[in-house]
Amino acid sequence: MSNSRQAEASSPWRAPILLIILIALFLAEGSFRNAMFSGSWNTALAILNMGLISAIMALGVNMQWGYAGLFNAGVVGFLALGSLAPVLVSLPPVQGAWTAGGPRVLLALLVGLGTLVLAAQVWRRMTGPLRLLAMLAVLIVGFVIYRRLFDPAVMAIEANNAAAAGNIGGLGLPVLLSWPVGALFAAAAAWGIGKVALGLRSDYLAIATLGIGEIIVAVMRNEEWLSRGVKNVSGIPRPVPYELDLQSDPGFVARAAEWGLDPATASGIWVKLLYAGLFGAVLLVLILMAELALKSPWGRMMRAIRDNETAAEAMGKHVTRRHLQIFIIGSAVIGLAGAMMTTLDGLLAPNSFNPLRYTFLIWVMVVVGGSGNNWGAVLGAILIWFLWIKAEVWGPELMRLVTMPLPEGALRDHLLGGAPHMRFIALGLLLLLVLRFAPRGLVPER
């Protein structure tokens, strides 16, 4: 994109205008009840909360792509890793699971890791014709030992109270602690992946990360001892009060009545507002840090590397090391968003990690918002999330309007039935239009 990055200066008003449009959309969603808006503050705030989390994901992708030009197509994998953290950190331990096989699983994982390290060392240190054979021997022996340790332990854990648990549970620590832990999980994975994949060129890197993302999601779906797989983990603790507790609290009911709201609606709104405050605070801190970093010498160096790798290398910058650094930081931000998402849902559903939704939609957010610009990515994320949710309502409405002249019958029913899928077409069209007419996004890089 070097030909378009440093293009003519754009209007400084674009970000504020987009912000005002977003605020107007959310206000309309909360206050008007008609064919387009629900008129429910609960709905508006629910969209906003997930929008804020999407904004953090977009911020992470923007760090990798916007600052450094790395095409990470495995966003869903880092998100999934981060979303595992609340389960492992804040759920209480499952009775009997740890004694059934906990230490043995840990030992097996250590053996697996040790095998990989040993194989890498053998490959690096040895020369001559036996090199490949020696590495293969290490891998095969290591794999057999690993499976010998791992399989019985997993069976024992999964057999333990299989209907209600079957997983290892967590440490029972406060859930807010799991957010940085989620970031750490993703960062650790990014370190390993970056070591392997960052030497690859653009498309090869994209597809390698796409594949790694799929591998991580496959592990989450199938390792029931860890994530319960398709059985989902529910009941993850909350950092905010429960609606039911609020509704039975006389002080809260009285205050709700003062505002002229019934306790059920008021408790929903209050909980969502608390979440929005938490997420908004995290988002603001991240943006502040990202902006400061981008304005520092480090940020200038990153953009110099992005715009001309060869020149930066000639100036003595270690390009691969910088790429690894930004890959880890961006992935950590995505992992943080994953942990926040599980906390918001109170549920870990490994089956829901779908690349269309959690990789490509995030990419649409960054590209539409304006890659390289933190505010652009964040505003783009909230806008796209709003449209993604509302397209499910607007699609059928539009279809009803379009099919008005058609006679009642099979074709009309078919079109009306398929209308919810319009959101894909709408988002695709939006992406193509932005790429064509505003290739640097709605809020371009300055």
Partner 1 sequence: MDILNAIVAILNFVVIPAAAYGAQLALGALGVTLIYGILRFSNFAHGDTMALGTALVILVTWGLQAMGISLTPLPTALLALPIGIALTSLFVLGTDRVVYRFYRKKRSEPIILVMASVGVMFIMNGLTRLIIGVDEIRFDDGARFLISVQDFRAWTGLAEGLSLRVSQALTLVVTALACWALFRFLSRSRSGKAMRAYSDNEDLALLSGIDPERVVRLTWIIATALAVTAGTLYGLDKSFKAFNYFQILLPIFAAAIVGGLGSPLGAVAGGFIVAFSEVAVTYPWKKIATYLGFEPQGMLQLLSTEYKFAVSFVILIVVLLFRPTGLFRGKSV
**Residue 396 is a binding residue for partner 1 (CB under 8 A):** no
Question: From CA 195, how far away is CA 436, in angstroms rounded?
Answer: 35
- 39, 112, 180, 211: which one contacts partner 1 (CB under 8 A)? 211
- Choosing from 7, 20, 215, 401, the residue that interacts with partner 1 (CB under 8 A) is 215
Please report whether residue 34 would count as binding partner 1 according to CB under 8 A: no
Q: Where are the alpha helices (DSSP H) in 160-308?
A: 178-197, 202-222, 224-227, 243-247, 250-258, 263-295, 297-307
431 part of the interface to partner 1, by CB under 8 A: yes
Q: Quick check: 341 binds partner 1 (CB under 8 A)?
A: no
For partner 1, the closer of residues 274 and 415 by Cβ is 415
Phi-psi region of 377 (alpha: psi -120 to 50; beta: other; left: phi over 0): alpha
Smallest gap from residue 125 Cβ to partner 1 (A):
17
Based on CB atoms, which residue is closest to partner 1, 33 or 124?
A: 124
Q: From the list 355, 372, 380, 441, which residue makes contact with partner 1 (rule: CB under 8 A)?
A: 355
Q: Does 196 bind partner 1 (CB under 8 A)?
A: yes
CB 306 within 8 A of CB 181: no
Nearer to partner 1, 96 or 211 (CB): 211
Sole residue written with tokens 């209050």: 270
Q: Check: CB of residue 326 under 8 Å from CB of residue 53.
A: no
Q: Looking at 218, 289, 347, 398, which residue binds partner 1 (CB under 8 A)?
A: 218
Q: Which residues contact 424 (CB under 8 A, 6 or more apart)?
A: none
Q: Which of 41, 353, 363, 386 binds partner 1 (CB under 8 A)?
A: 363
DSSP string, 188-205: HHHHHHHHHHTTS-HHHH
Does 204 engage in binding with partner 1 (CB under 8 A)? yes
Cβ atoms 442, 368 nearer than 8 A: yes
| Smallest separation (angstroms) from partner 1 to the CB of 295 | 25
Among 334, 427, 442, 443, binds partner 1 (CB under 8 A): 427
Which residues lie across from 348 on neighbouring strands?
Answer: 233
Closest CA to 442 of 6, 2, 16: 16
**210 contact partners, CB below 8 Å, separation of at least 6:** 73, 74, 355, 359
By beta-carbon proximity to partner 1, the closer residue of 3 and 34 is: 3
Catalog residues that contact partner 1 under the rule CB under 8 A.
Answer: 1-3, 69, 71, 151, 196-197, 199-204, 206-208, 210-212, 214-215, 218-219, 221-222, 355-356, 360, 363-364, 367, 415, 417-419, 421-429, 431-432, 435-436, 439
